[in-house]
Amino acid sequence: MTGTLTVLRAGPGVTVQDLGRPGWLEYGVSRGGAADRLALAEGAALLGQGADLAAVEMAGMGGEFQADSDLRIALTGAPMRASIDGAAVAWNASHLLPAGARLVIGAAQSGSYGYLHVGGGIQTPEHLGARSAHLAAGIGAPLAEGDVLETGPDSGRTTGLGLAPDDRFEGGTVRVVASLQTSLFPQAELARFERTAFRRSARGNRMGVPVESDGEGFRPDGARTVVSEVITPGDIQVTGDGTPYVLLAESQTTGGYPRIGTVLPCDLPLLAQAAAGAELHFRFIPLEEAVELERAEAERREGLRGQCYPLIRDPRTMTNLLSYQLISGAIAGEEDVL
Amino acid sequence: MAEVSAANPGPEIRTVGVDGMLVSFGSRLSESANRAALAFRAALAGESWDGVEEVSTSLVSAYVRFDLRHLDHAALRVRLGALLAQSDWYAAELPGQRRLWRIPAVFGTELAPQLPQAAEAAGMTEAEAVASLSAARVRVQTIGFAPGQPYLGELPEAWDIPRQTQLTTRIPEGALAVAIRQLVLFSVATPTGWMHAGQTAVRLFRPDAEEPFLLRPGDEVQFTPVTPEELQGLRRDPLGGAKAEDLS
C-alpha cells in the first residue's frame, strides 16, 4: 500500500536522501546521497527492505511528522529523542506509526545525522536517477512545514525490531589510504598528520568537514601547483592555510588543492557523524588491507538483517523475563531459539 | 608509440582512494594531454568492463571507479596498460558526437566588469581582447567543480594570465571568466579568482529538463558578441540563444 508522510515541522537541515546518483561526475555532479550510508543499510535491515530506498536525513535536528495511513518506520544514525503521540520510542529500532499519530523527533544527543526510514521508502520524484537532494547542485530542497511526501508500496509487516548500531557518533580514528597526491607531502608531515589530535570543525556540512588542530598547518613539499584532479568522497584536501578538509558526499567533483590521503568509505560514517568538537585521528593503512576491509564491510552490511532482534523480547530490556513461557513452540532443539 | 615530451612524460596510472584508478597524460594541462584524456575516456567507456562503475575525465586524466567485489587493482591495471598500448592516445581522434556551440555573450560593460583588467593583463586593448576572445574556438576540456560547468581552451598564448589572488566575492551564473589560457563558463554564482570578462544567458544545468546538461566534454564553443539589450532579450530562452551544430 502506498501513502503519504506529511512534514508538520522540520529542522533546517532535513532532506530526502538515498544512496545518491553515481554516473554524473563527467558532468560535474558529485554522487551525493546520505552522509552516513551505513545508517541507510541499518534502516533497510530494520524494515526488511532494500538499502536503495530513500529516507529522511536530519542534520542535527529532527522535526514533526504525520502519516495518512499506518506506516512502518525505522530510526537510525545519530540518536535523537523521539516520541509517537507523546510516548517515547527507541532509536535504532522499527515502529508502527499509526495513521494520524504525531511522530516528534528532537535534537541529536550525539553525532550529527539522524535518519527516518519508512516502509516502502520515500518516493519523491527522481532527478538524474536518484531522489537525493543535492543542495550544492541545485537539486531538490530542504523539507519544510507542509511538504507531503509519498511513500512507496510496503510489502513488509514487521515492526518492533532493534539493531545495535556501530558506535560512530563520538569521533575516533579513521583509516586512510595514500592517494594520488600523498607523495607531494614530506614523510615527516605525513607522520605528524598521523600523530595529531584533530577536532571536527563546526563548519562541517554535507560537502565536507574541516578538521582543526592546535599545531601548525600541513604543507606539501615546496610551493607546487597541481593540476585540478578528480575528487572521491573521503579525500582529505589541504587548503592554503594548511587545514585538512575531508570531502564528503556532496563535494565538488574536481579540486586543485593537494590531497594528503583518502578516508576509507567504511570509515566515512564515523567522520560524517562526529559532532562539532569531537576528537578525530587519522591512520594510514596499506591499500590491500583497505580493500579487504571494504569487502568485509559490504558483506557485513548485507547481513545486518540477521542482526536485528525483537525489541519486546530483548532480555536486556525485559524486567519480567522469568514470567514468560519461553519453551512452547521449541522444535528439534538444534535451532537457535531466543 | 606515444609522443613523449617534457609536458607529456607518458601516461601514468595511479590509484584514487580505495576504489578508483586514474590514467594521467600529463602533469600539467596541455592541448595534447587533454585530447588524449578525452579519447582514452571514450575508449574506456566503449570497453564496458565488468565491475567498472563509472568513467570520467578531468583536464589531463581519465578516471575509473570500480566495484571492489567484482574487480581488483592488479587486474584493472593490466587492462588499462593493455588499452594504453593499443594506440597513440596523444594523436588519437577526438570522440564522436561532438557539437560546435555558438553562445551569445556581452563582453565588458557593468555586466562583465573585469574586461579592462583582463585585457591589460593580456597586453591588449579592450577591443583587441573582445576580438581575440570571440574569434577563439575553444573546446570543452572538462566539466567539473559545479554541475555542467566547462573549462574551455586553449586560448592564444597572450591569455596565459594568472588568476587573481584576491577573490571576486561573487561571480554570477552564466559569467564567462578568463585566466591561464582558459575560459570558465560559470554554472552557479560563486566566489572566484578568474577574471569576469563576459556574461552569457545560458543555463548549463537544468535538473528538470530532458537534457539536463547543455555541454559535453569535447564540444567546441565560440562566443558571439551581443549588446546588453540583446542579452536581456535572450534571458527568456533557457539556452540563452546558444545554437549547436553537429561536428561529426
pLDDT at B96: 81
Going from the first residue of chain A to its last (338 residues), give the mean pLDDT of each consecutive group of 10, the final group possibly shorter: 93 97 95 98 98 97 98 98 96 97 97 98 96 94 98 95 93 96 95 98 94 93 77 93 94 91 98 96 98 96 95 57 49 38
* Interface list for chain A against chain B, based on CB atoms closer than 8 Å: 22-29, 127-128, 136-139, 177, 179-180, 227-230, 232-235, 252-255, 262, 264-265, 287, 290-291, 294-295, 298
CA distance A310 to A109: 24
Whole-number Cα distances in Å, B37 to A255, B33, B88, B89, B92 = 17, 6, 11, 8, 10
Among A112, A15, A118, smallest CA distance to A63 is for A15
Q: Output helix, strand, coil percentages for chain A, rounded to the nearest 5.
A: 20, 30, 50
pLDDT at A322: 55
Q: What is the pLDDT of residues B174-225, one digit of tens each?
A: 999 999 999 999 999 988 889 999 999 999 999 889 899 999 999 999 999 9
Q: How far is CA A36 from the centre of its chain?
A: 1
pLDDT at A225: 66
pLDDT at B1: 39
* 8 Å CB contact between A61 and A107: yes
* Chain B residues lying within 8 Å of A253, measured CB to CB: 56, 144-145
Residue B56 touches partner A, C-beta closer than 8 Å: yes
pLDDT at B248: 74
- In this structure, the number of other CB atoms found within 10 A of the CB of residue A181 comes to 22
Is residue A129 packed enough to be buried (19+ CB in 10 Å), middle (13-18) or exposed (0-12)?
A: exposed
Q: What is the pLDDT of residues B221-232, one digit of tens each?
A: 999 999 999 999
Best mutation site among A225, A254, A302 for testing chain B: the one with the most B CBs within 10 Å?
A254
Residue with cell 535534537: A107
* Chain B residues lying within 8 Å of A29, measured CB to CB: 147, 205
Residue A32 has φ and ψ, to the nearest 5°, of: 65, -150
Q: What are the grid coordinates assigned to B75, written together?
A: 587486474
Q: A67 CA to chain B: closest CA distance, Å?
A: 28
pLDDT at A239: 84
Instruction: Give me the helix-helix angle, B31-47 and B73-85, nearest 10°.
Output: 120
Spell out the residues 6+ positions from residue B119 whose beta carbon is closer than 8 angstroms to its own.
B125, B126, B128, B129, B197
Whole-number Cα distances in Å, A211 to A191, A197, B143, B204 = 17, 9, 29, 33
Of A139, A230, A264, the CB nearest to B61: A230
* 8 Å CB contact between A120 and A154: yes
Q: What is the pLDDT of residues B1-24, one digit of tens each?
A: 344 455 556 799 999 999 999 999
Q: What is the pLDDT of residues A158-186, one digit of tens each?
A: 999 999 988 899 999 999 999 999 999 99
Region B58-86: mean pLDDT is 96
Region B127-156: mean pLDDT is 96
Contact A254 B60 (CB under 8 A): no
Nearest CA in chain A to B148: A27
pLDDT at A59: 97
Q: B128 CA to chain A: closest CA distance, Å?
A: 29
* 8 Å CB contact between A175 and A283: yes
Whole-number Cα distances in Å, B212 to A324, B53, B150, B205 = 60, 21, 14, 5
Q: What is the pLDDT of residues B31-43, one digit of tens each?
A: 899 999 999 999 9
CA distance B184 to B187: 9
Contact B144 A227 (CB under 8 A): no
* Chain A residues lying within 8 Å of B40, measured CB to CB: none
